[in-house]
A and B are shown apart, each in its own frame.
Chain A
Amino acid sequence: MKLQQLLTTTALCALTASMASAGQLVIKGSDTLGAKLVPQLAEAYKAANPGTSFQIAAEGSTTGIAALIDGTAHIGMSSRRAKPTEMSAASAKGVTMKPTIVAYDGIAIIVNAASPVKGLTRQQVEKIFTGDITDWSAVGGKPGKISIYTRNTSSGTYSDFKELAMKKRDYAGGSQKMAGNEQIAAEVGKNAGGIGYVGLAYLKAAGIKAVPVDGITPSQATVRDKSFPYSRPTFFYTNGEPVGEAKAFVDFTLGGKGQAIVSQVGFATVK
Chain B
Amino acid sequence: MSKTSPLQFAVMLTLISAGAAISHAQDAGALVDKLVKKGVLSSQEGEEVRADMMRDFATQTSAGKINLSGSITEMKLYGDFRLRYQYDDREAQIAAPNHVDQRSRWRYRLRLGADVAFGENWFAGFQLQSGQNSDSGNQTFSNGFDNDGIFISKAFFGFKNDWASVIAGKQKNPFYTTDMVWDPDINPAGVVERIDFHKLFGRGLAGPSGDYGTDGKSMAPTEVHGDSSWELSLVAGQLFYQDNNEFNIGTDFKTDGYLFVEQLIGTYHFNKDVSITLAPAWMTFTASHLTGLRNENSFTDTSNVLSTTTTQTTKTDRNRLVVNYDAAGNITGGTLQPFVVTATQVSSPTTTKVGGGSSTGSTTRTVTTDQVRSGATVNLTAAQAKAQAAALGLAQTGPANGQTQRDIDGVAVTTTNTVTLPSIAGETRKLNIITAPGDISFKIGSLKTKVYWDFAYNVDGEGRFNDIYQLRTGNAATDAYRGYKTRDGIAWLAGVQLGETKKKGDWSLNFNYRESGIASLDPNLNDSDFALSELNTRGFKLSLAYQLADVVVVNLTGMMAWNLDRNLSGGRATGGSAIAQDNAINVVQFDVNVKF
| Interfacial residues, chain A to chain B (CB-CB below 8 A) | 81-82, 84-85, 87-88, 90-91, 96-101, 167-170, 233, 235, 240-241, 270
Contacts and interface: CB of A to CB of B under 8 A. Distances in A.
The B interface, classified by DSSP as helix, strand, loop or mixed, is: helix
B57 A84 contact: yes
A162 B55 CA distance: 23
Contacts of B57: 84, 87
The A interface, classified by DSSP as helix, strand, loop or mixed, is: mixed
Interface string B446-470: 0000000000000000000000000
B119 A168 contact: yes
Given A101-B43, A241-B3, A270-B43, A85 B58 contact: yes
Nearest to A168: B73
A233 B58 contact: no
B51 interface: yes
Contact of A233 (B26, B47, B73, B119): B47
B345 interface: no
11 contacts: A81-B50, A81-B54, A87-B54, A87-B58, A88-B59, A88-B64, A88-B65, A91-B55, A96-B55, A97-B55, A98-B2
B44 A100 contact: yes
Contacts of A170: 71, 118-119
B48 interface: yes
A234 B350 CA distance: 88
Nearest to B118: A170
B58 A84 contact: yes
B58 A91 contact: yes
B550 interface: no
Contact of B2 (A82, A84, A241, A270): A241
B58 A101 contact: no
Contacts of B1: 96
User: Which 5 interchain pairs have the tightest Cβ spacing?
Assistant: A88-B58, A84-B58, A87-B58, A169-B119, A87-B55
B222 interface: no
A98 B118 CA distance: 31
A101 B118 contact: no
B516 to A, nearest CB: 48
B317 interface: no
Contacts of B65: 88
Interface in B91-133: 118-120
A233 B43 contact: yes
B171 to A, nearest CB: 23
Given A88-B65, A91-B59, A167 B120 contact: yes
A82 B51 contact: yes
A235 B2 contact: no
B67 interface: yes
Contacts of B47: 81, 99-101, 233, 235
Nearest to A153: B70
Interface string B29-72: 00000000000000110011011001101110000110100010
A270 B64 CA distance: 30
Given A96-B1, A99-B48, A170-B118, 6 more contacts: A84-B57, A87-B55, A88-B58, A88-B65, A96-B2, A101-B44
A85 B67 contact: yes
Nearest to B119: A169
Contacts of A91: 55, 58-59
Contacts of B67: 85
A82 B120 contact: no
A101 B42 CA distance: 11
Interface in B559-573: none
Given A88-B64, A88-B65, A91-B59, A98 B54 contact: no
Interface string B1-13: 1110000000000
A87 B119 contact: no
Contacts of A99: 47-48, 51
B80 to A, nearest CB: 29
A247 to B, nearest CB: 13
Contacts of B51: 81-82, 87, 97-99
A225 to B, nearest CB: 11
B211 to A, nearest CB: 14
A263 B1 CA distance: 32
Contacts of B120: 167, 169
Contact of A270 (B44, B54, B55, B118): B44
A100 B50 CA distance: 12
A84 B54 contact: yes
Nearest to A89: B58
A4 to B, nearest CB: 15
Nearest to B29: A81
Nearest to A84: B58
A89 to B, nearest CB: 9
Contacts of A85: 58, 67
A91 B59 CA distance: 7
B4 to A, nearest CB: 11
Contacts of B3: 240-241
Contacts of A235: 47
Contact of A84 (B43, B64, B71, B119): B64
